[in-house]
Structure 1
Amino acid sequence: MDIYTITILLLVSLLTIVLAVNTYFPYFWLDLKYFCELLQIILRYLSRRRRTPNFFALDRFLEQTATHPDKLFIVFGNERYTFAQTDQRSNQFAHALQSQPGYGAGDTVALFMSNEPAFLFTWLALAKLGSPAALLNHNIRTRSLLHCFSCCGASVLIAAPELRDAVEDVLPSLTQQGVTVLLMTDHCPTPGILSFTEKVNAAPASPISRSLRSKVTFKSPAVYIYTSGTTGLPKAAVVNQTRLLTALAVLSSNGVSSEDVVYLNLPLYHTAGFVIGFIGSIETGSTIVLRRKFSASQFWDDCRKHNVTVIQYIGEVMRYLCSTPKRENDREHKVRLAIGNGVRAEVWREFIHRFGDIQIREFYASTEGNVGFVNYAGKIGAIGRVNFIHSTLFPFVLIKYDTERDEPVRRHDGLCVPAPKGETGLLVSKITDIAPFEGYAQNEEQTERKRVRNVLRKGDLYFNSGDLMRIDQDNFIYFQDRVGDTFRWKGENVATTEVSDILTIWDCIKEANVYGVCVPGHEGRTGMAAVTLQEDTQFNGRDLYSHVTKYLPPYARPRFLRIQGAVEVTGTFKQLKVKLVEQGFDPGQIQDPLFVLDDREKSYVTMTTEMYNSIISGNIKL
């Protein structure tokens, strides 16, 4: 047999193998590409872990600054900052902070501000000083604000000027604790609050000595990011230096490079905005177009103006964009990639159909969780794809869950029952050295509640994600729902017990059972409360509206309210929610007095059938 014939046979054999692989294993090449990317990430991470002195996310920023000092890093309105200017400005913040009373290098500092360059400068400054940063949600007030500040052990609060009133509300408590309060302004007349901007402007831009962070280790906390969890007030999830170092890869692993322009309009106090948008851009050297808050009407105009190529989303963002009036230039932009989580399949399809061939990279992760998934195959509706290598590095399992008893189903031997493919189960992930669970700051009770023991073997330990998932026959994984006392609305997790506590401190309400209900055309569930009134009291919708708007951020305010004679409970005094959730807010099914929050009237007003039909049809937007 001559060489020509042998070559032909080899080519035919190779082509046959390729065709067979494509036919019987349609995702093989995508899986192989993902494995190679994962291996590259692991090798880069291990290389950085071996460096001396220790290499952290901050050091990657300093590398970028040294290599590309004049590269544009932050765009905010008319403001422009290169890597070098960002570095120098953060040095000024660090020097100014060092001179403040009550602060020492390494002390935890709480940031209470919305999206603005000062947020990024301050975090970089704190990283240079070896200080963890607590990223406070700028929507929280009074009790929640004090709780979030206190649980991270912060000694300093830095706040934006527009949040001065919120700070003044809790100032007596902060003063009593000896907290240093700094306001990002040139002058503040309020006793007990120090102006900070003038001190920053007067500070030198000289580099900060590395010795100030010499005691920082890979296990040291880098940031505290708050999550509602399943019960109670927000909890401070500990994100240590190792986790932040790992997070550098989130954008680069999705093909983002220094040539890209990233649109960051999600809150910086969230994992999505801070870790993916900011920390991810540090790794890639991309330009960040920072916006104070999301605006559906201005989104695409911003993208066109700044030549944005990469956008972030949560499910609601995509739906909001699809809900805007159609325009002739909807496809006139340079956006090529959208990365995020929580988009529904029908919204995914509509988004691509309307705005063009944009790659959607859906993923799953949680702030405190130890497992994540990436839908690298682009399967519409899936949050990721599972495979052997991923399962080996980050072991997880879907277990059967009893939603009525709110606990995993267990066999007679006490072990959990794995959910078969195609069935919904609770996602739990094994806690290992590679996939640790750091827990919540100063909250061992809530940390323990997220641990599940004796899952597949006696003595094993898993992290309870609180999420119900399903894996199909092609190994794609789909998010189904949340368990426990949390619902998600406007992209935020809402803890029902926190809302209940706020409702019951109002004089007229005796008990409150809070839950989420589905509204057609909206992602997640909006808040509803079944309440009982104190004896000899009369419901006043205007007074209750004033109360909830004072104590709760917009996404956590109960949109619907029903007044019951008594709150139904189980034999162990747990409030019953299943029937209430099923009935929703339909006045045709509910005999109890039913009310809806009306922002125009600044009151809870009686729910009518006409109003209900308008909400269902989408004529009234929530």
Structure 2
Amino acid sequence: MLLSWLTGLGAGMVFLHFVQKRLFPYFWDDFWFLLKVVRNGIQMEMCKRRGKLVTVLDKFLSQAKRQPQKPFIIYEGDIYTYQDVDKRSNRVAHVFLNHSLLKKGDTVALLMSNEPDFIHVWFGLAKLGCVVAFLNSNIRSNSLLHCIRTCEPTALVVGGDLLGRIEEILPCLPKDVSVWGMNDSVPQGVVSLKQKLSTSSDEPLPCSHHVVSNLKSTSLYIFTSGTTGLPKAAMVSHSQALRGSAGFWAFGCREDDVIYITLPLYHSAASLLGVGGCIELGATCVLKKKFSASQFWNDCKKYNVTVFQYIGELCRYLCKQPKREEERDHQVRLAIGNGIRSDVWRQFLDRFGNIKMCELYGATEGSISFMNHTGKIGSVGRTNFFYKLFFPFELIKYDFQKDEPMRNEQDWCIRVKKGHPGLLISPVSTKNPFLGYAGSYRHTKSKLLFDVFKKGDVYFNTGDLMVQDQEDFLYFWDRIGDTFRWKGENVATTEVADVIGMLDFIQETNVYGVPVSGYEGKAGMASIILKPNKSLDLEKMYEQVITSLPAYACPQFLRIQEKMETTGTFKLQKFHLVEEGFNPLKISDPLYFLDNFKKAYVPLTKELYDHIISEKLKF
């Protein structure tokens, strides 16, 4: 009797296992991942109910107390332990406490490259309860001035290698902003923070300076180009920072991992997911000033790297490097990032060994995120009924001609079917708030959709088009609006157009992104109308874009037109221009290419076009 019962039970379990594998192949992957998400949420809720609101800074202080001598940052061969970073950041806090008028809640802008002092200053200011605004170290001139004015800082801290950038705009800065330079020798009007640090105390500050009463309060400003205009300062709450710092842990990283970060710290990927993720784990971070494809695997071997962060371009650069025998001689087991193409993904794995690629998606200012926990090539993540309970979202139809969401006869948005691209939106609620941007509310409002499926509902517009397949895997499809992505950065087309429009021979400029064979994202292209009786000055054009824009935002292609089409709402038409691209055989208008070797815009000939398409010419 018992034997037959056990046999039947066994047969039943085998059958259920077969059905699960057949009909629900990702059930256990989804289950264990969701369990991690729920566990993390429960831990945060338990802390809140105990009346103890724990921030990323609090977690760092806990790690510094628990393992003071463990390496936290390795930079250019130098080791900074958790205790070292704690003490150095204490020095920063004491300098501002004793030599400035900074108070809790004030904003301080930070313009620094990747270096340990970026983290020291960030944590030092956080210990005073300040909101820190991360400025993009690539921008300059009017864009930099705009960003500083937008976040309205009380003080500005500048890295030693970027003081020249600030000196250019120093006379234009608001008079009430004190400027501090991380160098012994600083321009007139700038205070040397480095000198004051040498005599500052490294004793801990009272927790009362940085304790928070609400995790929804602003912790950081991180600039994003969004979909229109100049960069906007996205408000990042303590709660969002905590969620970001849990990403490495959710993907299976451990305390004994050594994590290689070459992405810029002014982005949330490197700062929140990267540095914050190391803190969450108590792991070690190898920080690189700038990514180097030729040094990448040497560094991984030298520092025993087990995990690295990537963007798609980084992996593509590595695949383009000449093959070397030792490129598989490493301990890397995980790579975490976003934006890698399927073909590059496969090529990377074939060439560099058994590395699990952990693709993810997230918007700095939004609450929606996806994580590819199954390793499905090309996907940014997976969804299911339970996942949408925690991270609700919708994919809606988008009108590319009108550049806006489609609506039906009742004026409601329309959900797309599986397999079709749709605009990714997520509901705004008390549970999933959208803090928006610093400054005018119109910037925040521009990212919101109202009355989407019913009267009164509000959704955050990510500006990204996604496709959901029949197995509920999600794939990034494209960006919408006046923005495109190039060299791992979002480029606001209106900002580029404004810079070009300053030239006295330009009447109108239409900037957009065009796909280029072999490259991630889209390269910038500017369609231009000249003023009557004015001629194109390529030298002035080159000088203007190179001196006023970051390298990734400079248009790679120029097109000279006699007139431009507009939409029904009088917006410049981009759809057909993007479709036509930069092929001189199909376009009769004059075309030019930004030749970095010649440091000039040159005519785009068929021969040059062929070199670009065949990837013989790199840019």
In structure 2, relative to structure 1, the CA distance for the partners of 1:216 and 1:534 (3 Å cut) is farther
**What's the counterpart of residue 177 of structure 1?**
175
Contact 1:111 1:157 in 2 (8 A): yes
Contact 1:41 1:253 in 2 (8 A): no
Compute the RMSD of aligned alpha carbons: 1.3
**SS, match of residue 35 in structure 2:** helix
1:39 shift after superposition: 1.7
Equivalent residue in structure 2 for 1:194, among 188, 191, 195: 191
- Opposite residue 443 of structure 1, the aligned amino acid is S
- Aligned mates of 1:406, 1:568 — CA distance in 2: 14
- Aligned mates of 1:330, 1:214 — CA distance in 2: 46
**What's the counterpart of residue 322 of structure 1?**
319
- Aligned mates of 1:366, 1:72 — CA distance in 2: 30
**What's the counterpart of residue 558 of structure 2?**
561
- Aligned mates of 1:339, 1:458 — CA distance in 2: 40
**What's the counterpart of residue 55 of structure 1?**
54
Q: Alpha-carbon deviations, 1:173-221, whole Å to 9, x = none?
A: 12x4321001101222x22111110101210100011122246532221
Q: Alpha-carbon deviations, 1:139-191, whole Å to 9, x = none?
A: 111111111111112111100111111101110112x4321001101222x22
- Aligned mates of 1:529, 1:232 — CA distance in 2: 16
Given the alignment of the two structures, is residue 313 of structure 1 paired with residue 310 of structure 2, yes or no?
yes
- Aligned mates of 1:218, 1:365 — CA distance in 2: 20
The residue correspondences of 1:248-259 to structure 2 (distance < 5 A) are 248-259=245-256
Contact 2:240 2:367 in 1 (8 A): no
- Taking only the aligned residue pairs, the percentage that are identical comes to 47
- Aligned mates of 1:25, 1:214 — CA distance in 2: 46
**What's the counterpart of residue 32 of structure 2?**
33
Given the alignment of the two structures, is residue 525 of structure 1 paired with residue 522 of structure 2, yes or no?
yes
The residue correspondences of 1:120-131 to structure 2 (distance < 5 A) are 120-131=119-130
Equivalent residue in structure 2 for 1:503, among 500, 504, 521: 500
Q: Alpha-carbon deviations, 1:318-366, whole Å to 9, x = none?
A: 1111111111112110000011111111111111010011011111111
- Aligned mates of 1:517, 1:259 — CA distance in 2: 43
Show structure 2 runs of 5+ residues with no match: none
- Opposite residue 42 of structure 1, the aligned amino acid is G
- Opposite residue 13 of structure 2, the aligned amino acid is L
The residue correspondences of 1:17-32 to structure 2 (distance < 5 A) are 17-32=16-31
Contact 1:439 1:447 in 2 (8 A): yes
1:524 shift after superposition: 0.6
**What's the counterpart of residue 145 of structure 1?**
144
Contact 2:402 2:568 in 1 (8 A): no
In structure 2, relative to structure 1, the CA distance for the partners of 1:425 and 1:571 (3 Å cut) is closer
**What's the counterpart of residue 362 of structure 2?**
365
- Aligned mates of 1:147, 1:362 — CA distance in 2: 33
- Aligned mates of 2:451, 2:569 — CA distance in 1: 24
Contact 1:102 1:179 in 2 (8 A): no
Q: Alpha-carbon deviations, 1:226-267, whole Å to 9, x = none?
A: 100111000000001121122221111111111000001000
Equivalent residue in structure 2 for 1:580, among 577, 581, 597: 577
**SS, match of residue 328 in structure 2:** coil
**What's the counterpart of residue 114 of structure 2?**
115
Number of aligned positions between the proteins: 619
- Aligned mates of 2:176, 2:58 — CA distance in 1: 33
**What's the counterpart of residue 6 of structure 1?**
5
Show structure 1 runs of 5+ residues with no match: none
- Aligned mates of 2:387, 2:88 — CA distance in 1: 41
Equivalent residue in structure 2 for 1:602, among 571, 588, 599: 599
**SS, match of residue 392 in structure 1:** helix
**SS, match of residue 58 in structure 1:** helix
- Opposite residue 479 of structure 1, the aligned amino acid is F
1:435 shift after superposition: 1.4
Contact 2:278 2:284 in 1 (8 A): yes
Given the alignment of the two structures, is residue 43 of structure 1 paired with residue 5 of structure 2, yes or no?
no
Contact 1:133 1:223 in 2 (8 A): yes
- Opposite residue 64 of structure 1, the aligned amino acid is Q
Indicate the larger mover: 501-510 or 33-42: 33-42
What is the TM-score of this pair, normalised by structure 2? 0.98
Q: Alpha-carbon deviations, 1:276-317, whole Å to 9, x = none?
A: 111111100110000001111111111110000001111111
Indicate the larger mover: 441-450 or 8-17: 8-17
- Opposite residue 138 of structure 1, the aligned amino acid is S
**SS, match of residue 326 in structure 2:** coil
Contact 1:512 1:567 in 2 (8 A): no
Contact 1:518 1:524 in 2 (8 A): yes
What is the TM-score of this pair, normalised by structure 1? 0.98
- Opposite residue 181 of structure 1, the aligned amino acid is V
Given the alignment of the two structures, is residue 73 of structure 1 paired with residue 72 of structure 2, yes or no?
yes
Equivalent residue in structure 2 for 1:548, among 527, 545, 550: 545
- Aligned mates of 1:73, 1:602 — CA distance in 2: 41
- Aligned mates of 1:425, 1:388 — CA distance in 2: 19
- Aligned mates of 1:355, 1:279 — CA distance in 2: 27
In structure 2, relative to structure 1, the CA distance for the partners of 1:561 and 1:458 (3 Å cut) is same
- Aligned mates of 1:577, 1:420 — CA distance in 2: 26
Contact 1:394 1:430 in 2 (8 A): no
- Aligned mates of 1:312, 1:146 — CA distance in 2: 30
